[in-house]
Amino acid sequence: MSEIRFDNRVAIITGAGSGLGRSHALALAARGVKIVVNDLGGAVDGTGGSASAAENVAEEIKQAGGAAIAHGANVTKMDDVADMVEKALAAFGHVDILVNNAGILRDKSFAKMDMADFEAVMNVHLMGSVNCTKALWAHMRERQYGRIVMTTSSSGLYGNFGQSNYGAAKMGVVGLMNTLCLEGAKYNIHVNALSPIATTRMTEGLFPSGANAIFTTESVSAGLLPLVCDKAPNRLILCAGGGGFAAARIVETDGIYLPPEKQTPENVMALLDEIMDMDEAKILEQGGAQTMKFAFKAAKHLGIKL
């Protein structure tokens, strides 16, 4: 396979002052991408801030012969994000790639969680992704090109104890991806999601000591680059970690039809096994496909022509 190149491409990467974001920035810069390194420079829980984290990574890229600028935008503040995009356009003329990577953690069981902590995590992960994407959407539509990645997580896709806020946000960005990939398709804007496993500040102490050497940030960035290249897929949830790569898919079973006289909760309960039968499960391309599926099932039984 030919080498994946990104000549004359420009990327904004949020949360790129350390961890996965830094790894993504260095990997893209090594292949010719001009980088806007965004990082508020706060702690894992989102408190505090410092410009040095983003500036250090930008300088690292420039020392290696690449092009980069730093910006400390808080992704939850639209004015900050707009200024970041303005600075990116002033420096490089256009933006082709957005990697929504910024995130914080405030873990606690739902019973004990303060709602301010729930909202803070939702704001950074979900609304931060919304803000950055919105700030670039018109620009990408006008240029007829865009590659956007949402950072999801197994905590959102499958759940994880003590992470109701994080899980809700991480599933939220999947929903955002599902609609934006439809709205952006005719403008050559591809939107994908990355579900990473890596040893970073946010996962400190999570893995056994021997696994830290396996779950490198570089092994995840190897999966990111195909999601933002010219030949990138659209609407893929790519899971990556420790050299493992897999696709997470949202599917729907074919299900059943109950005529009006049998539409009772008792019948639904009695037929749950049949409802959950995966034999004819399918990936639906948009929400309306579910509506039409149920409509055709009912129409066939009732003798109605649609």
In this structure, are 215 and 298 located in the same domain? no
In a domain, residue 2? The reply is: no
In a domain, residue 3? The reply is: no
Query: Is 203's pLDDT higher than 70?
Result: no
Selected residue with higher pLDDT from 278 and 7: 278
In this predicted model, what pLDDT tens digit does every residue of 104-161 receive, in sequence order?
A: 999 999 999 999 999 999 999 999 999 999 999 999 999 999 999 999 999 999 999 9
Predicted local confidence at residue 3, as pLDDT: 86
Give the strand pairing for 97-100 and 10-13.
parallel
In this predicted model, what pLDDT tens digit does every residue of 218-248 receive, in sequence order?
A: 999 999 999 999 999 999 999 999 999 999 9
Tell me how many degrees the CA angle 240-1-230 measures, rounded to the nearest 5: 70
Q: What is the mean pLDDT of residues 24-43?
A: 94
In a domain, residue 254? The reply is: no
> Closest by alpha carbon to 128, among 100, 158, 92?
100
In this structure, are 278 and 156 located in the same domain? no
In a domain, residue 120? The reply is: yes
Q: Percentage of residues in the chain with pLDDT exceeding 70?
A: 94
DSSP H or E segment with residue 38: strand 34-38
pTM, two decimals, is 0.93
In this structure, are 242 and 265 located in the same domain? no
In this structure, are 271 and 234 located in the same domain? no
Predicted local confidence at residue 7, as pLDDT: 83
In a domain, residue 158? The reply is: yes
Confidence at 78, pLDDT banded by 50, 70, 90: very high
In this structure, are 98 and 65 located in the same domain? yes
In this structure, are 84 and 156 located in the same domain? yes
Give the strand pairing for 237-241 and 244-248.
antiparallel
Confidence at 45, pLDDT banded by 50, 70, 90: low
The parent domain of residue 178 ranges over 10-248
In this structure, are 274 and 229 located in the same domain? no
DSSP H or E segment with residue 35: strand 34-38
CATH of the domain at 185: 3.40.50.720
How far apart, in whole angstroms, are the C-alpha atoms of residue 282 and residue 251? Answer: 5
Q: Judge contact between 180 and 130, C-beta under 8 A.
A: no
Q: Which token pair is 299?
A: 């129409």
Q: Write the CB contacts of 258 (distance below 8 Å, at least 6 apart in sequence).
A: 267, 268, 271
In this structure, are 266 and 194 located in the same domain? no
Predicted local confidence at residue 109, as pLDDT: 97
Of 18-27, 106-115, 178-187, 295-304, which range is least confident?
A: 295-304
In this structure, are 93 and 233 located in the same domain? yes
Residue 129 burial class via C-beta count within 10 angstroms: exposed 0-12, middle 13-18, buried 19 and up: buried
Pick the catalytic residue from 145, 158, 166, 187: 166
Confidence at 207, pLDDT banded by 50, 70, 90: low
For residue 166, indicate whether it is catalytic.
yes
Give the strand pairing for 34-38 and 244-248.
unpaired
Give, as one character, the DSSP assignment of residue 93: S
Q: What is the average pLDDT value for the chain, to the nearest integer?
A: 94
Predicted local confidence at residue 213, as pLDDT: 77
In a domain, residue 145? The reply is: yes
C-alpha of 209 from chain center? 28
